[in-house]
Amino acid sequence: MGRKIKLIDTTMRDGSHAIHHQYTKEKVMAIAKGAEEAGLYCIEVGHGAGVGGSVLQYGLEKESTIELIKAAKSMCKNTKVGTLLVPGLGTMEDLKKAVEAGLDLVRVAVHCTEADVGAQHIRLAKSLGLEAIMFFMMTHMTSPVELAEQAKMAEEYGADVVYFADSSGAMTPDDIKDRVNAIRSKVSIPIGVHTHNNLGLGVGNAIAGIVAGCDYVDGTFEGLGAGCGNGNLQAIVAVLNKMGIETGVDLYKLIEVGKNEVRPIIEHSLEITGESILLGYIGIYSSFYLHVIEYAEKFGIDSKLIFEELGKRKVVGGQEDQILDICHEIIEKRKGNVNEK
């Protein structure tokens, strides 16, 4: 018997960024039903920035994450219901409420150099009986060796799994492999990988992670997710089937759910565009994508200028306010109101 890969579908969390956090309970129930029938390991639901993420800066959710967890849980017997929690945005109280709503698994999402910020939340999650995953964001910003040190800390806090996210879709397959190898040399808990498709490597990088030794992998129906989307779940399963790597998932059911339930809610093209390539190439947070495009259009600014300045500032999650600041500076510069330094 070969190893069995655990698939986490984050259509209803990362995909929420791509639909301005407008999931309804009905839509979540329909996708959750399909996920359960297809045999997915876990579905992650909630605001794109996780529980507590519904603030003006990121965009307000239509339906609360807690209600979406309840809706998902009502359809799932075997498929776990998870959510994401960014400490500071989501609180310990939020986590307790999510557990009352039926949560099975939480991913505590921290910047790639800040494992310590998630220590209390991992411990609380364990004490509440959850599967607790430490989820490192923006991991192209740190070296494999440093990331492995952070992963070691996560293991010491009691995390069941350590995930690393290519949040900007900036990595090459070798970058993924190097991180898996470095983490594996330091920790013995399972490793997971979360990819974005800004450079067209969403599926390829997910597969690279599995080949290098990941036991968990993320994907989304139709690739719906922040930026140019995530690794397409149906394609990941199709490739794994061809490679003879077991997932326990029904590919045909996934294709049906993607077509009938997810494709109709896609608001903007997930094609690889000049903007998505810049996002990945410069290494900007995928969740900044729509904000940049929308502000660029509103203020008549070339989005390239905004992406370049975000890159220079090395912005990380939570610094979305800088997009507006940069637009303001560009407009003032145009008017000649800014002194050149």
Ligand X SMILES: CC[C@H](O)CC(=O)C(=O)O
**Interface residue list for ligand X (CB under 6 A):** 14, 48-49, 86, 109, 137, 165, 167, 194, 226, 286-287, 317
Selection from ligand X, Mn ion, none that 32 binds (CB < 5 to 8 A by kind) is: none
Eight-state DSSP code of residue 265: G
CA 57: distance to chain centroid? Answer: 18
Selection from Mn ion, ligand X, none that 177 binds (CB < 5 to 8 A by kind) is: none
Selection from ligand X, Mn ion, none that 141 binds (CB < 5 to 8 A by kind) is: none
Beta strands in 86-160 (DSSP E): 105-111, 131-137
Q: Minimal CA–CA distance to 222: which of 232, 235, 207?
A: 232
Q: Minimal CA–CA distance to 31: which of 249, 223, 221?
A: 221
Distance from C-alpha of 237 to C-alpha of 242, rounded to nearest angstrom: 9
Selection from Mn ion, ligand X, none that 317 binds (CB < 5 to 8 A by kind) is: ligand X
CB nearer to Mn ion: pick between 14 and 61: 14
Q: How far is the CB of 285 from Mn ion (least distance, A)?
A: 9
Binding residue ranges for substrate: 13-14, 167, 194, 285
Q: Minimal CA–CA distance to 43: which of 27, 54, 59, 63?
A: 27
Binding residue ranges: 13-14, 167, 194, 196, 285
CB nearer to ligand X: pick between 251 and 316: 316
- Indicate the residue whose CB is closest to Mn ion: 14
Q: How far is the CB of 136 from ligand X (least distance, A)?
A: 8
Q: How far is the CB of 3 from ligand X (least distance, A)?
A: 25
Other Cβ atoms less than 10 A from the Cβ of 167: the count is 32
CB nearer to Mn ion: pick between 70 and 107: 107
Considering only residues 227 through 286, tell me which ones interact with Mn ion, judged by CB under 5 A. none
Distance from C-alpha of 42 to C-alpha of 89, rounded to nearest angstrom: 23
Token pair 């330094």 is found at 341
Q: How far is the CB of 13 from Mn ion (least distance, A)?
A: 8
Q: How far is the CB of 285 from ligand X (least distance, A)?
A: 7
User: Applying CB under 5 A, which part among 14-22, 126-134, 139-147, 202-210 lies near Mn ion?
Assistant: 14-22
44 binds Mn ion (CB under 5 A): no
User: Between the CA atoms of 237, 317, 184 and 225, what dihedral angle is there, to the nearest 10 degrees?
Assistant: 0
Of the residues 17, 21, 140, 291, which is catalytic?
Answer: 17
CB nearer to ligand X: pick between 14 and 222: 14
Phi, psi values for residue 230, rounded to 5°: -100, -175
Measured in Å, how far apart are the chain's first and last C-alpha atoms? Answer: 64
Selection from Mn ion, ligand X, none that 16 binds (CB < 5 to 8 A by kind) is: none
Angle between helices 289-299 and 303-312 (to 10 degrees): 130
Q: Minimal CA–CA distance to 44: which of 17, 55, 20?
A: 17
Q: Which of 14, 61, 178, 261 binds Mn ion (CB under 5 A)?
A: 14
328 is catalytic: no
Distance from C-alpha of 128 to C-alpha of 83, rounded to nearest angstrom: 14
CB nearer to Mn ion: pick between 70 and 194: 194
Binding residue ranges for Mn(2+): 14, 194, 196
Residues taking part in catalysis: 17
Binding site for Mn ion (CB under 5 A): 14
